[in-house]
Amino acid sequence: MSKSNQPQKQKRTAKQEIVSAEYSGPIPLPTHLEHYESIVPGAAERIIILAEGEAAHRREIEKMAMSADINLSGRDKNQTAAGQWLAFLIVLAFLGSGIYLMTNGIIIGGAVVSGMGVSLVGIVTAFLGKSKNKN
């Protein structure tokens, strides 16, 4: 057979196209809203009302969270100040007791109690420093 008598081979090509769409947020794309509306009349309006309600709710929750954070930070400052005063009074009580004991002849006992008071300064400072670093 000659080349001219052979049937021509045809090349077949196929194309495939993949289309995807994404959106973010509570309200679908306008074309999707139209589709929802055609299936269920009034659906588009209901979806928009739902999205508005969710946005208002989210803003209210965020406002409440910010208010709570502000209240907690103020309370933390008050508690830290109260803790500092209480620690100061405890240290003064130990030092005062130690001085009282030493002036009444109990030198070793007074020195031990005073030493405990001085040691408490370091311990209290460490605890108060940890509570500040939590935030």
Give the tens place of pLDDT for each residue, 46-93. Answer: 999 998 999 899 998 888 888 877 776 666 676 777 777 877 888 888
* DSSP character string of 75-121: HHHHHHHHHHHHHHHHHHHHHHHHHHHHHTT-HHHHHHHHHHHHHHH
3 lies in some domain: no
The answer to whether the predicted template modeling score (pTM) of the entire model surpasses 0.85 is no
* Residue 126 binned pLDDT confidence (cut-offs 50, 70, 90): confident
**pLDDT confidence of residue 4:** 59
Phi-psi region of 6 (alpha: psi -120 to 50; beta: other; left: phi over 0): beta
pLDDT value at 99 more than 60: yes
75 lies in some domain: yes
Look over the chain and give the mean of its residue pLDDT values, rounded to a whole number: 79
Domain count, the chain: 1
113 lies in some domain: yes
10 lies in some domain: no
- Domain hosting 46: range is 25-133
39 lies in some domain: yes
